[in-house]
Structure 1
Amino acid sequence: MINFFKKKNYKEEIKEELNIFDEKEKIPSHIAIIMDGNGRWAQRRFLPRIAGHKEGMNTVKKVTKRSSQLGVKVLTLYAFSTENWKRPDPEVTFLMQLPVDFFDTFVPDLKKENIKVQVIGFTEGLPSHTRKAVMEAVEETKSNTGMILNFALNYGSRSEILEATKNIAQLVKDNSLEIDEIDETIFESQLMTASLGAYQEVDYLIRTSGEERMSNFLLWQNAYSEFYFTNELWPDFNEKSLENAIGVYQKRHRRFGAL
């Protein structure tokens, strides 16, 4: 006898929505998100811009957990760019405090969810308290074997590529590498995302707030990624928003230049 009142388990509910558990290859392994629209979200509510950044932090928690549950391998979040230093000092000061507050409250959940924290960017340029909070989160979660939550902090892709080029040039100068040996594998080994291994390349780039540009984010790694732009502001983006975005991805046919 069928029990029509039996509660569906979590996996059954998600399977109905996304049809993903039988075809896990349709889940993007590496999702990168440009989290845009915090300031506009706050202004529309007649709140200071920092209120939007604070609410955006809660969105990060929601999206991180759902991504892990859906089987995403790497979630890279553009948290602070090398160009963001141009913003007003009070806003920058608040943004530099956010990682401290975020990890202070979220690391226990990350450990429970088996999520590993990593960071890319020129972290030596961060304030000491920001860098300390990030490095402690990396250390506390280093043994986790699940999804990698990869924060791009003080990150700029052009600078990353320039640094990789300088590193390779130095190897050639030191006679550790021949020019003819330089290929994509060698180049990628010098990028900040090298530690991601097989998941270094982005499968799916999501940008919120309706803007449609790359903003100097993972230019090399996004060479063949699928793009998804949504008008939702980042604080309004939630678990359902993520599922909808992945649903769009599942309908794409990635050819990588072939037929």
Structure 2
Amino acid sequence: MMLKKIPFLNNKKVYTEDDFTLDHIAMIMDGNGRWARKRGLPRVAGHKEGISTVMKVVRAASSRNVKYLTLYAFSTENWKRPKAEVDFILKLPKEFLHVFLPELIENNVRVQAIGDVNNLPAHTREAMAYAIERTKDNTGLQLNFALNYGSRSELLHAMKEVVSDIKEGKLAQEDLTEEHIASYLYTADIPEPDLLIRTGGEKRLSNFLLWQLAYTEFLFTDVLWPDFNEEEFLRAIEEYQQRHRRYGGL
């Protein structure tokens, strides 16, 4: 399918809902450490600066009728980083929500989390649980934070659940379909991403949504996450709308 190209920012167009037909955008927020190093700052300064970028992207997505935005906030591999950096990163959800939760509520944003959240620190779990509860009835953009998320561990967990249900007679092996498997994933109630954006110049998935990204369009940008803004977000959407999505067809 070829979506119509939208006039870009400099044309001063007033955007309407019909201009944006992406249901789900996933983002790998990369480049915080390099952003800080370029400025002679500790790595954690980049992570802190990245908080404001999160809100810029949320505002842009929400105002343009994107239904789901999934941000790769902390991976299962990130535990390998120095403890001080890990501790700092896992305090950021609480800091972000302390500052921006009122705005999220006002703008009808619903907060959710995907990943093995039970193994996160109590302060991170509590902050997320509070935000999820406060926004549960909102009907606008669903903002998914991928926390302690790894796609391989997600798939392993799903397969164990499938095997268990087959053994218990809840599911017949011969009836197992791709749709069944998808229903056991953390993203069971979320459509697959239309577009994946990775900032920071790297061109890999880093164990993010491996099942869900099977037919997603990828966009890699050299812009470091703290420098990413609404204009870059719109540029990514414009690039997406120039592509043909064939899903294996002609």
TM-score w.r.t. length of structure 1: 0.91
Which residue number in structure 2 is paired with residue 216 of structure 1? Answer: 207
> 2:133 and 2:215 mapped to 1: Cα distance?
32
- SS in structure 1 at match of 2:73: strand
Choose the corresponding residue for 1:95, options 81, 89, 98: 89
Give 1:58 deviation, angstroms: 0.5
Deviation sequence 1:39-83 (CA, Å, 0-9, x none):
000000000111000000110001001101011110000000000
Give 1:176 deviation, angstroms: 1.0
Amino acid at match of 1:78: Y
Question: Residues 32-51 of structure 1: matches in 2 within 5 Å?
Answer: 32-51=26-45
Amino acid at match of 1:146: G
Moved more, 211-220 or 27-36: 27-36
Question: Residues 192-207 of structure 1: matches in 2 within 5 Å?
Answer: 192-196=186-190, 199=191, 201-207=192-198
* Unpaired runs of at least 5, structure 1: 1-11
Residue 137 (structure 2) pairs with residue 143 (structure 1): yes
2:105–2:135: 8 Å Cα contact kept in structure 1? yes
Choose the corresponding residue for 1:21, options 16, 21, 25: 16
1:36–1:234: 8 Å Cα contact kept in structure 2? yes
Higher relative contact order (CA 8 A, sep 6+): 2
> 1:105 and 1:19 mapped to 2: Cα distance?
29
How many residues matched?
244
Give 1:13 deviation, angstroms: 9.1
Note the aligned Cα RMSD (angstroms): 1.8
Amino acid at match of 2:223: E
> 2:102 and 2:73 mapped to 1: Cα distance?
20
2:9–2:231: 8 Å Cα contact kept in structure 1? no
Which residue number in structure 1 is paired with residue 231 of structure 2? Answer: 240
Which residue number in structure 2 is paired with residue 257 of structure 1? Answer: 248
Which residue number in structure 2 is paired with residue 175 of structure 1? Answer: 169
Residue 156 (structure 2) pairs with residue 165 (structure 1): no
Give 1:28 deviation, angstroms: 1.8
Give 1:180 deviation, angstroms: 1.1
2:162–2:184: 8 Å Cα contact kept in structure 1? yes
Larger Rg computed on CA atoms: 1
After TM superposition, the runs of 4+ consecutive aligned structure 1 residues lying more than 2 A away are: 12-24
Distance 1:17 1:216, change over 3 A: farther
* Unpaired runs of at least 5, structure 2: 1-6
Choose the corresponding residue for 1:76, options 56, 70, 87: 70
TM-score w.r.t. length of structure 2: 0.94
Choose the corresponding residue for 1:117, options 107, 111, 116: 111
1:27–1:250: 8 Å Cα contact kept in structure 2? no
Deviation sequence 1:169-192 (CA, Å, 0-9, x none):
001000111001110111111000
Deviation sequence 1:164-211 (CA, Å, 0-9, x none):
111010010001110011101111110000132xx2x11100000110
Deviation sequence 1:104-155 (CA, Å, 0-9, x none):
1111000011000000000011000110001110000001000100000000
Distance 1:175 1:110, change over 3 A: same
2:31–2:199: 8 Å Cα contact kept in structure 1? yes
